Amino acid sequence: MDSTYESDDLKILGIVVRLKEQIERLGWDGSVSAEVRGMNGTFFLFVHGNKNRRGVIGPELDDLLAFVAAEAPGSYGVMYWRNMEDSNDFKVRVLAPGRLVDHPDPFLSPVVPTIEDEDGEPAEVGSAEATFWDQRFRTYSQALRKDVDNEEASGSEER
């Protein structure tokens, strides 16, 4: 008789096989891809792409995520997406056990002026939030450079 863990493992592997088969049937081209990877005893679905319209891929992606929600009800994750045809905002699609829900994005939206100006060019850095993160990045970069300099100095002393 299988232990609970063994039967759970077989069930999970069955889900992974069916998910991989479904991804294979999609036949997505180079602008969108999906893959299942096992890491540290857990399986992850990676979907990445850069389409400027939902087209055929949008409903296929909806179906793929609905499959995960139904077949692997303990799954969770987030996906950022933007329909460039009719939106200045990103959406965050949240997969929480057994359900998919779209939420407004609080970080990159509205696209104009957060990440682009009216002409589609990168937004100017200058908002209070951008300045805060820019300062954090500079502080981190300086600390990293200091660590590298210290390592190089200690390495030359050992020679």
pLDDT tens sequence across 135-144: 666 777 677 7
Q: Which residue has the higher pLDDT, 12 or 152?
A: 12
**Omega prior to 110 cis, within 30 of 0:** yes
What token pair was written down for 131?
């300045």
The answer to whether residues 109 and 123 touch, using CB atoms and an 8 Å cutoff, is no
HSE at residue 140, side-chain half, CA atoms within 13 A, is: 6
pLDDT in tens, 73-106: 889 999 988 877 777 888 999 999 878 999 999 8
Collapsed DSSP state (helix, strand, coil) of residue 92:
strand
**Distance separating alpha carbons of residues 54 and 132, to the nearest angstrom:** 34
- pTM equals 0.68
pLDDT of 26 reads: 92
**Distance separating alpha carbons of residues 64 and 28, to the nearest angstrom:** 12
The answer to whether residues 92 and 104 touch, using CB atoms and an 8 Å cutoff, is yes
